[in-house]
Amino acid sequence: MVDATVNTQSGPRGPKPKKALSSTNVIIYGTLFVVCMYYLLPLYVMIVTSLKGMPEVRLGNIFGPPVEVTFQPWVKAWSEACTGINCEGLSRGFWNSVWILVPSVIISIAIASVSGYALANWRFKGSEVFFTILIFGAFIPYQVMIYPIVILLRESGEGITSVLKAFNPMLEAMGFEGFKTFRLMGSVSGLVIVHTIFGMPILTLLFRNYFTSVPEELFKAARVDGAGFWGIYFRIMLPMSLPIFVVAMILQVTGIWNDFLFGVIYTKPETYPMTVQLNNIVNSVQGVKEYNVNMAATLLTGLVPLVIYFASGKLFVRGIAAGAVKG
């Protein structure tokens, strides 16, 4: 029985300690092989579909490798695919996502790391209460907060506008152009704020736990050496916590890139992030469905997080596990 299964096994051969081909091992490796196939299948199907021409797709064998490999669907998805009347392809969504991603990641990590540091090393009266609210807030469904945030963004946008416009007579008198209406709602800056807010619980927890694990005596020594809040943060804590910043970055880049809900709600069609645009392309009811283009577009959207995932390895795991570690 063992012999029959050996050859179909993907399991290990060679110098493995004792009984490498025991029936237990055959079952374990067999199961894991099947499981891996299941997890890889959708990726495989997406890739082969995206490389087929539409006539071949219509033949209806989604598992079959492409007879004739074509990159046309990828080109079309990137630069020609339509959402409604707009036919610029996904490239616009990609760049929108980049413009959303970069400031969101930087600002959210900067703010959360300082908050985590304050919570770990400079506790003040009530700081733990705020932190507890923050962590429990992470469990509140976004739907509960989404509308009031719309109002907050609209109102603060108007507030900022009126403050800025107060300078306009002066600026115009000096020959400069006056400030225009400043919008937070429906703009990239508004979405950046939203991402910063909702990234706060997990990132603050991540940094707080990390900074708490830094020996307290190090912090005390720095205080005796005359370093203050910012001095200790920049000179002592920051240089020794680069790994945790990388973890936070991985967490935020994948999280923000993959966001759909906030993109739909807080931006306008011109500034839709890639995920929203992808959905609009694929699920648009107009025209003939081009499945190969759809799959190319889907893969393009998934590419950034996938590259980060495969490149970061264990750091990704550390990031997602951070949410599970009790504070």
What distance in Å separates the CA atoms of residue 5 and residue 192, rounded to the nearest whole number?
Answer: 55
DSSP 206-226: HHHHHHHHS-HHHHHHHHHTT
> Measured between alpha carbons, how far is 30 from 225 in angstroms, rounded to an integer?
60
Does position 175 bind other proteins by CB under 8 A? no
Burial class (CB in 10 A: 0-12, 13-18, 19+), 66: middle
3-class secondary structure, 267: strand
**Residue ranges of the alpha helices (H) in 229-327?**
229-231, 242-258, 261-266, 274-282, 291-312, 314-322
Instruction: Name the segment binding other proteins (CB under 8 A); options: 9-17, 66-74, 81-89, 158-166.
Output: 9-17
Residue with smaller CB distance to other proteins, 171 or 197:
197
Between CA 30 and CA 315 the distance in angstroms is 28
Minimum separation from the CB atom of position 46 to other proteins (A)? 5
Q: Which of 7, 15, 18, 60 binds other proteins (CB under 8 A)?
A: 60
**Binding residues for other proteins restricted to 180-209, rule: CB under 8 A:** 196-197, 200, 204
Taking the complex as a whole, the smallest distance from the CB of residue 212 to other proteins amounts, in Å, to: 15
**Shortest separation between residue 36's beta carbon and other proteins, angstroms:** 5
In the bound complex, what is the minimum distance in angstroms from residue 169's beta carbon to other proteins?
Answer: 32
Figure out which of the listed residues 69, 98, 102, 151 binds other proteins, where binding follows CB under 8 A.
151
Question: Angle at the Cα of 326 (from 320 to 327), degrees rounded to 5?
Answer: 105
Q: Does 41 bind other proteins (CB under 8 A)?
A: yes
Among 144, 173, 174, 288, binds other proteins (CB under 8 A): 144
| Residue 58 binding other proteins, by CB under 8 A | yes
Q: Please, are residues 97 and 273 in contact by the beta-carbon 8 Å criterion?
A: yes
Least distance in angstroms from the C-beta of 268 to other proteins: 13
Site string for other proteins, 94-123 (x = CB under 8 A): -----------------xx-xx-xxx--x-
The least distance separating other proteins from the CB of residue 193, rounded to whole angstroms, comes to 10
From the list 148, 173, 270, 287, which residue makes contact with other proteins (rule: CB under 8 A)? 148
Q: Which is nearer to other proteins, 11 or 66 (CB)?
A: 11
Select the residue interacting with other proteins from 4, 85, 177, 326 (CB under 8 A).
326
- The string of DSSP letters for 163-212 reads HHHTTHHHHHHTTPPPP----STBSHHHHHHHHHHHHHHHHHHHHHHHHH
Nearer to other proteins, 13 or 174 (CB): 13
The CA R_g of the chain, rounded to the nearest whole Å, is 26
Report in angstroms how near the CB of residue 183 gets to other proteins at its nearest.
17
Residues 64-93 that bind other proteins (CB under 8 A): none
Site string for other proteins, 285-304 (x = CB under 8 A): ------x--xx--x--xx--
Is the CB of 58 or the CB of 286 nearer to other proteins?
Answer: 58
Tokens matching residue 306:
């996938």
Instruction: Using CB under 8 A, count the residues that bind other proteins.
Output: 111
The number of beta carbons lying within 10 Å of the beta carbon of residue 238 is 13
DSSP H or E segment with residue 44: helix 23-50
CA atoms within 13 A on the CB side of 297: 30
Q: What is the DSSP string of 2-23?
A: HHHHHTT--S--SS-SS-TT-H
Choose the stretch contacting other proteins; rule: CB under 8 A; options: 53-61, 68-76, 85-93, 176-184: 53-61
Among 8, 22, 31, 162, which residue sits at the site for other proteins (rule: CB under 8 A)?
31
The per-residue DSSP string of 81-100 comes to --BTTB---THHHHHHHHHH
